[in-house]
């Protein structure tokens, strides 16, 4: 049961990331890093720093 919940949560995270990452200049396949929780945190951090760069322009 726990594995099923983990798979559902991964898919629910990967799909939005695949749509958002190209807007920040990253390949959408990097969304597969969301399979592990640390990957999600790293991608969110990268997106936040890129957003700060874009806002400064």
Q: Given a cut of 90, is residue 5 above it in pLDDT?
A: yes
When the pLDDT of each residue in the chain is averaged and rounded to a whole number, the result is 92
Task: Enumerate the domain spans of the chain.
Answer: 2-56
Q: In the predicted model, is pLDDT for residue 41 greater than 80? A: yes
Are 31 and 17 within 8 A, CB to CB? yes
**More confidently predicted of 42 and 53:** 42
Torsion 29-30-33-37 (CA) sign? negative
Rounded CA separation 19/3 (Å): 25
Would you state the pLDDT for residue 56?
86
Q: Find the radius of gyration of the CA atoms of the chain.
A: 13
Q: Choose between 57 and 19: higher pLDDT.
A: 19
């Amino acid at each position: 049961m726990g594995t099923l919940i983990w798979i559902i949560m991964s898919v629910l995270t990967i799909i939005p990331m695949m749509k958002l990452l190209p807007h920040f200049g990253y390949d959408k396949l990097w969304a597969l890093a969301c399979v592990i929780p640390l990957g999600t945190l790293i991608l969110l951090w990268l997106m936040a720093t890129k957003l700060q760069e874009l806002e400064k322009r």
